[in-house]
Structures are given as structure tokens and as C-alpha cells.
Amino acid sequence: MKKAIIIGATSGIGKELARVLATGNYIVGLAARRLNLLSELKNELTAETYVQKIDISQPDEAKLLLRQLIEEMGGVDIIVVCSAICIYNPDLDWENEIATVNVNVLGVTAIANVAYNYFSEKGSGHIVGISSFKALRGGGSSPAYNASKAFLSNYLEGLRINSAKHGNKVFITDIRPGLVNSSMTVRKNSFLVVPVHKVARQICKAIETKKSIVYVPKRYKFIAYAMKYTPFCIYSKL
């Protein structure tokens, strides 16, 4: 049986992905900052499940706790980084901006760094980062969020290049979801918003096939392409 750790397993994509993997013959490790919600999810799953409270806004501590969880599980094959925050911040409140950077950049990088070094030493493994189609352009209502997702996609590509140069069998997958029906989605009634269970199933398929970059659902690849090449004078008014 494969073993997978999901960072950010208490809500949204992370929670639903845990359910999908647990029914797919995986041993799962659940990590997030809200221990009570992790325990509730563990009780729901029928698979062998491990739980670790990890707050990635505290990156140094998060690195240590992730290593502990890996050791407790007797090693792992896949680490999925789902943790993120998205704050609607058109007034550019500094506290909201720095909070986004602390979690989506510093925290996520800390987790990815531990995962990559662990898998490199092990000789194989798979890192899955949940980025966003919004990584391709800036966002006026939440600038730090779009920028943080651009950072993540770029960082994952850097890890992929590093792995290739060193001949490591460490696979890196950049998942770029569209608008998902979760707590971070403002336009819940839009026809563009995708059910989270559909996204989780497609991510699971991407994990199995070890693809490098995946848009979920697939139509967002074309939406992202159109968004990327829309002239600024038009894009800035959307």
C-alpha cells in the first residue's frame, strides 16, 4: 500500500482528497493546524490514518513536525501540499498581505523543502503542490494570493529541474485548480465554480499518472491560456 501525507487536510481540496485516497488503498497522514477537525476526519476514514497538528505559518516548527509524521508512518511515498489562505484584500491591508505570504510562500516552501530532501535521500517519491490557475496573472482583489501561487508553481518547477539534473526519481506535480466550491471561493454560484469532489478525483488521477502540470478541471487550461494573453487594458477591468 502507498502512503501519502496531506498538508492542509481539514477543509476544501485537502479534506476531499484525503477521502478519495483513503478509499483508494492508501495509508494516509493528515496534517493541519486544527487538531479537532483532523480527529473528526480520521474517525470518518476507514483506511489506516495518522494525524499530526502542523501549522505552516510557523515554518521551522512545521518542518520538524513533518519529519516526525514521516517517521511515525514508517516513511511515505507522496506528500501533498494543500495548505493555503486566500484573503479578499482590495484595500491592501498589510496584515492580510503578510499573513498570506507567511502561509502560502514561507510555510509551503518549508514543507516542500523537507519533502524534497527526504525523497532525495530515499531515492524516490512524489511531491504534489496545489497551486492555482491564478498563478499566471496578478489579482487586484488579492494580490498576495496570486503572487504566492506564481511563486509555488515556479518553485515546483525549480525542484523538478533539480531532480532531473541530479538523476533523482523525485516526481513533482503542479496542480492548478480553477475556482473550487470551497471556503476560499467568493463566487460560489458562478458556472465556473467546480465541485470539490470532482477536483479531488482528478487530482488523484494526476497523482497516479505522475503528470508535471495539471489543470483541474481540464477546461481551465484553456481559461488560463486566454487569461494569460488577455491584454492588460482588458484584464484589469475583469
C-alpha to C-alpha distance for 185 and 59, rounded to whole angstroms: 26
C-alpha to C-alpha distance for 30 and 6, rounded to whole angstroms: 5
CATH code, domain carrying 132? 3.40.50.720
**Torsion angle (degrees, nearest 10) of CA 127, 44, 201, 174:** -20
What are the CA-CA distances from residue 65 to residues 32, 55, 104, 124 (Å)?
Answer: 11, 9, 18, 21
DSSP class of 30 = E
pLDDT by residue, tens only, the chain of 238 residues: 899 999 999 999 999 999 999 999 899 999 999 999 999 999 999 999 999 999 999 999 999 999 999 999 999 999 999 999 999 999 999 999 999 999 999 999 999 999 999 999 999 999 999 999 999 999 999 999 999 999 999 999 999 999 999 988 999 999 999 998 865 554 555 667 888 999 999 999 999 999 999 999 888 989 989 998 999 989 888 7
Q: Which domain holds residue 55?
A: 2-235
Q: In terms of DSSP bridges, do strands 124-130 and 169-177 run parallel, antiparallel, or are they unpaired? A: parallel
CB contact at 8 A, 87 and 108: no
Number of domain units in the chain: 1
Q: 32 — phi, psi (to 5°)?
A: -175, 180
Global pTM reads 0.93
